């Protein structure tokens, strides 16, 4: 099983299993589950603390052409005239939040974000996919910035430590819910690829 194949399978089915027991904004549990799935399938994976910015197609086109909006008035003009929508994830601390956003980096080559679709709760018209996977360019993470312009979506991750401790969270330490989600996802991936189900 190649990494590309497993990432594709994970993107297609993982979020449904995660949401059976976790809220859409649970980036800690989602990242823990992501990492455990890839570990158990034989791939290195680790958490990465970031803040995320997500925009719709109109925002992506304007940002690619003009760079970031100069000020609040410019951003409001983009929204009013061009229909640009953008939202930040993890830029500030909220009650019960980590003051950041957590994603998984698999084999130092792919960001897998199984909770970015929480942006849809804030701006439903964004239509962020249930799981986002971004192939990293050589040395890209060293710059502290990962940015993608797509005709339908703008995604930017800025590497930044979370404002609150998340490693002590039960969702990171592991719960029956995270463990069963991992088992369900692996079973579905293996079944889809014709692998023999695990018995251990």
CA 26, CA 178: separation in Å to the nearest integer? 11
Strands (E), 23-152: 45-56, 86-89, 101-106, 110-113, 132-135, 145-149
pLDDT of residue 95: 60
Q: Are 30 and 123 in contact (CB under 8 A)?
A: no
Which candidate, 115, 121, 125, places its Cα nearest to that of 50?
115
The alpha carbon dihedral of 141, 143, 149, 154 has a sign of positive
Tokens encoding 158? 């800025």
pLDDT tops 50 at residue 199: no
Residue 63 has pLDDT above 90, yes or no: yes
> What pLDDT score does 37 carry?
97
DSSP 140: G
What is the arithmetic mean of pLDDT over 165-177? 93
The structure's pTM equals 0.93
pLDDT of 21 reads: 94
pLDDT, tens digit (0-9, with 9 covering 90-100), for 95-112: 667 889 999 999 999 999
- Is pLDDT at 200 greater than 80 in this prediction? no
Q: What is the mean pLDDT of residues 100-125?
A: 96
Q: What percent of the chain has pLDDT over 70?
A: 96
pLDDT for 198 equals 45
Distance CA 27, CA 151 (A): 26
Q: Which domains does the chain carry?
A: 3-192 (3.10.550)
* Segment 81-96 mean pLDDT: 86
Residue pair 29/177 in contact by the 8 Å Cβ criterion: yes
Residue 62 and residue 72: Cα distance in Å, rounded?
15
Q: Are 113 and 153 in contact (CB under 8 A)?
A: no
Model confidence over 24-56: pLDDT tens digits?
A: 999 999 999 999 999 999 999 999 999 999 999
């Amino acid at each position: 099983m190649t990494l590309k194949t497993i990432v594709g399978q994970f993107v297609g089915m993982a979020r449904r299993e995660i949401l059976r027991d976790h809220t859409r904004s649970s980036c800690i549990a989602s990242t823990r589950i992501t990492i455990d799935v890839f570990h158990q399938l034989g791939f290195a994976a680790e958490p990465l603390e970031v803040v995320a910015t997500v925009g719709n197609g109109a925002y992506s086109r304007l940002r690619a052409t003009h760079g970031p909006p100069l000020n609040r008035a410019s951003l409001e003009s983009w929204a009013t005239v061009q229909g640009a929508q953008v939202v930040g994830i993890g830029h500030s601390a909220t009650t019960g939040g980590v003051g950041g956003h957590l994603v998984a980096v698999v084999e130092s080559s792919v960001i897998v974000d199984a909770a970015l679709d929480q942006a849809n709760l804030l701006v439903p018209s964004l239509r962020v996919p249930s799981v986002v996977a971004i192939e990293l360019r050589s040395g890209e993470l060293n710059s502290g910035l990962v940015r993608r312009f797509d005709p339908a979506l703008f995604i930017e991750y800025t590497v930044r430590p979370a404002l609150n401790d998340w490693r002590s969270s039960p969702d990171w330490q592991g719960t029956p819910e995270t463990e069963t989600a991992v088992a369900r996802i692996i079973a579905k991936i293996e079944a889809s690829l014709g692998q023999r189900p695990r018995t251990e």
